[in-house]
Amino acid sequence: MRMRPTLSWTPAGDLPPGTTDLRPVADALKAGGVLVLSGAGISTESGIPDYRGEGGSLSRHTPMTYQDFTADARARRRYWARSHLGWRTFGRARPNAGHRAVAAFGRRGLLSGVITQNVDGLHQAAGSDGVVELHGSLDRVVCLSCGAFSPRRELARRLEEANPDFAPVAAGINPDGDADLTDEQVGDFRVVPCAVCGGVLKPDVVFFGENVPPPRVEQCRALVREAASLLVLGSSLTVMSGLRFVRQAAEAGKPVLIVNRDPTRGDRHALTRVAVPLGTALTTVAARLGVPVPVDDSGPDRRPVVPPTP
């Protein structure tokens, strides 16, 4: 199914209001079998901005589309210059309290799975296992010609060698790892080819306008079918790639609970939307359930560097 390049959504006036009552979330987790669906909002406390919230990156940044990336060498050069600079910060981001709470719920056996729309790998770095990366991961690079995967850190090394004097100051970083650079700052940035076949390299993420691999979609649908409830964390659900799972759960009569500061496109399908910051909300729920959440993440970074789920 193609991910529609929907960049904005205007809330309708008849959406149910948000609440600060965390009891439904605590009750669902206590019962177990909760499937988590996370979005960019869970990573904002790690220093990665979201797309559509207050100060979100879409106010200043239009994400790369698959069509532009594949058709235009200049667009690829601009993308890789911005992404290479952004990776220096993005790749150092660490899990926050929200990620650690989700991992703690998983260790306690309260979750049936985790689906994330994010490409930052922070759920895995916090200790969550079996995370389905709906939109892929910036930790991996794939060749569009031969299909070979390689670690992003290896590409970063090659790009550093090809652009030793590239050190512009970015205006900001975006949820997709892009740094905000002008065309003048991009300059004559050199893009490197696939080390295997010389083909075009692309981050192993789903760009706007690109297809989410059908087997991955079906894997997520199966997780929804098996779950007792669906807990959405930090997603506006503007794009259909996430909203369809909310609709599936609601149509099956499964409770949908949303924790997101702003209204979402899935609110009318939800039992409740809790408008409380995610780190605070999840650690509060964890405390009520007696689930210990580490204060900080002092362990090794567990972000994946292996090929994705098909």
Report whether 49 belongs to an annotated binding site. Answer: yes
Per-residue CA distances from 102 to 33, 166, 241 (Å): 13, 38, 21
Report whether 67 belongs to an annotated binding site. Answer: no
CA 94 to chain centre: 14
Active-site pick, 84, 99, 123, 135: 135
Report whether 43 belongs to an annotated binding site. Answer: yes
Sheet arrangement for strand 149-151: 149-151, 136-143, 201-205
Report whether 42 belongs to an annotated binding site. Answer: yes
* Structure token pair of residue 276: 């409380």
> Are 259 and 244 a contacting pair, CB within 8 Å?
no
Report whether 145 belongs to an annotated binding site. Answer: no
CA 235 to chain centre: 9
Collapsing DSSP to helix, strand or coil, 136 comes out as strand
Report whether 40 belongs to an annotated binding site. Answer: yes
Report whether 51 belongs to an annotated binding site. Answer: yes
Instruction: Establish whether 269 is a catalytic residue.
Output: no
Report whether 48 belongs to an annotated binding site. Answer: yes
Q: At what angle do helices 214-226 and 240-251 cross, to 10 degrees?
A: 30
Report whether 112 belongs to an annotated binding site. Answer: no
* Structure token pair of residue 34: 């909760």
Report whether 98 belongs to an annotated binding site. Answer: no
> Are 171 and 180 a contacting pair, CB within 8 Å?
yes
Report whether 50 belongs to an annotated binding site. Answer: yes
Residues known to be catalytic? 135
Annotated binding site: 39-59, 117-120, 143, 146, 194, 197, 234-236, 278
Annotated binding site for Zn(2+): 143, 146, 194, 197
Annotated binding-site ranges for NAD(+): 39-59, 117-120, 234-236, 278
